[in-house]
Chains A and B, each alone.
Chain A
Amino acid sequence: MKEKSNQAQLKISPEALERLKGLAISESGFLFDPITGYSYNLNSTALELIHLLQAGKDRQQMMKQMLDVYDVHVDDFDRDFEQFLGLLQEYGLLPAAAPKKKS
């Protein structure tokens, strides 16, 4: 049951995971996208999040890890995380999420 719940919260598709794993990221937060040739600077939180995404963690696992380390409310995490994913999509570093199917 728990396994099923985690799966439901997994935002990152295998395609997106492959894309993220192809990014070259240095420990100082310099991110290079070898497909487009663009580079970006990440702050320490973004660096941590992107490492978690690359490791294939689901949203729940990431939230737990961030909440353990940082003094942040769940709602703030949700908002900031959504914004971060939106930025990654805007820069083409993550494929845009597929529209949700109607049940």
Chain B
Amino acid sequence: MASAAKNYRDMCIAISGLHTGENPQPGVPVIWSLRQGGYEGKIVGLVYDANEAGIWAGVADEVFEIPYPSDGSEAFLSRLNYIRQSHPLKVIMPTLDSEIMAYLRLAPKLAEMGIKTFLPTEEQFKLRSKNKLSELGKLKKIRIPASLNLSDAAMVWKLADSFSFPVMIKGPFYDAYKASTPEEAEKFFHKIRAEWGLPVIVQEFLAGDEYNMVAVGDGKGGCIGSISMRKTLVTAKGKAFGGVLVEDPELNAFGRDVIKKLSWRGPLELEVLKAQRDGAYYLIEINPRFPAWVRFATEAGQNLPLAVLKLALGEKQPRLRSHRKGLFFIRHSVDVVGDISHFGELSSTGELRNISMLLNQIQSNGRDQKALRKAAH
């Protein structure tokens, strides 16, 4: 594997999104992939809360709490400067939707600090937002289900003029509901507006199979690598809990075409639907980051997180190809155990160092006690 040629032993990078659980974030599988690809440098986890389970799974070497993007760039930069005093970060890989814009706006400051990222441009990022998807379709000639932004509940009652029910009612960031009547559509409009704000998006409902693709764009129209899957198990929120690898040349071509037309730079997840009515693929959504199932790509032979690290560092990254077929994944939840004093330390000081050593201590203490009990018998 070419990726193992360089071990980056003296490097220090930061990765966010360590929450795992019912709706896991991509940080843990991104770190896992980097380690799998031979990355031996230090990994700092950037977390918002001591309850992010990935902290206690011991995947990051150290973790630091950071302010939420909504707290503003000054608070974030100040925290970053503090972290840099002990950890000369070379690359940051943000993995959450809500963070990307903040990192894009801070790019010049980060560059001054010598911190690299590999993210889309602000224009690309904005164009893929849910409320612009229809515009994107027209502008770039990408097949997208008909959609309309609603700014007022009264608009729901005029939907029948241009849409046939059922329709999808979607939030600007998260959530999507299928509404079979205008009454239902109005109910979901209010629900989404209360939680996520405006606009609420109404989208033509297309019956068919949904597929997800994870890919990395090189920023020049090329695609560094991609794999696609069909969800076989979903959570109550429709998130993948299991999936199967698919290899449809038509789907691959569709995904590559989207990346090319956007000249997308960085990781992304495409949500695509193969419509029953015409057998054609339609773009449903673009998520501007790795999905939580990105480890699946690594297992299939395409270490996309490692590719992003290399691209951020300005290294050459050849096109990746899968070398394993016929794979499926099922998410496995486990309980991780920590020492409450470490939890307290992270909560009160906002940082925790040498995590693997601390977790090893807990495990060896457990083993010692077991041995003591055995000896007492």
Does chain A have a CB within 8 A of B122? no
Minimum CB distance partner of B209 in chain A? A36
A:23-45 near B, CB below 8 Å: 24, 32, 34-39
Contacts of B229 in A (CB 8 A): 37
| B249 nearest CB neighbor, chain A only | A35
- Which among B232, B243, B247, B326 is the interface contact of A35 at CB below 8 angstroms? B247
Contacts across chains A and B counted by CB atoms under 8 Å = 28
Q: Nearest-CB distance from A15 to chain B (Å)?
A: 13
Contact of A37 with B326 in the complex, beta carbons under 8 Å: no
A38 to B211, CA, bound (A): 12
- Nearest B residue to A24, CB-CB: B326
> Chain B's interface: helix, strand, loop or mixed, by majority?
strand
Closest to A33 in B: B246
Check A34–B245 contact: CB distance below 8 A.
yes
Contacts of A24 in B (CB 8 A): 325-326
A93 to B230, CA, bound (A): 17
Please determine whether A32 and B230 come into contact, CB atoms closer than 8 angstroms: no
Q: Is the interface of A mostly helix, strand, loop or mixed?
A: loop
- Complex CA gap A35/B250 in Å reads 9
CB of A36 within 8 A of CB of B326, answer: no
> Would A32 and B326 count as touching, CB distance under 8 A?
yes
Complex Cα distance, B245 from A32, in Å, reads 10
Q: Does B248 contact A (CB under 8 A)?
A: yes
Q: B320 interface residue, CB < 8 Å from A?
A: no
Does any Cβ of A come within 8 Å of B244's Cβ? yes
Which chain A residues lie closer than 8 Å to B246 at the CB level?
34-37
In the bound complex, CA of A35 to CA of B247 (Å): 5
B325 touches which of A34, A36, A38, A39 (Cβ 8 Å): A34
Question: Per-residue 0/1 for B322-362: is the Cβ within 8 Å of any A Cβ (1 yes, 0 no)?
Answer: 00011000000000000000000000000000000000000
What distance in Å separates the Cβ of B300 from its nearest Cβ neighbour in chain A?
Answer: 12
Q: List 27 A–B pairs whose Cβ atoms lie within 8 Å, in order of A's numbering.
A: A24-B325, A24-B326, A32-B244, A32-B326, A34-B245, A34-B246, A34-B247, A34-B248, A34-B325, A34-B326, A35-B246, A35-B247, A35-B248, A36-B209, A36-B230, A36-B246, A37-B209, A37-B211, A37-B229, A37-B230, A37-B232, A37-B243, A37-B244, A37-B245, A37-B246, A38-B230, A39-B244
**Contacts from B to A (Cβ < 8 Å):** 209, 211, 229-230, 232, 243-248, 325-326
A residues adjacent to B (C-beta < 8 A): 24, 32, 34-39
Q: Known A-B contacts: A34-B245, A35-B247. Give 16 more (CB < 8 A).
A: A24-B326, A32-B326, A34-B246, A34-B247, A34-B248, A34-B325, A34-B326, A35-B246, A35-B248, A36-B248, A37-B209, A37-B229, A37-B232, A37-B243, A37-B246, A39-B244
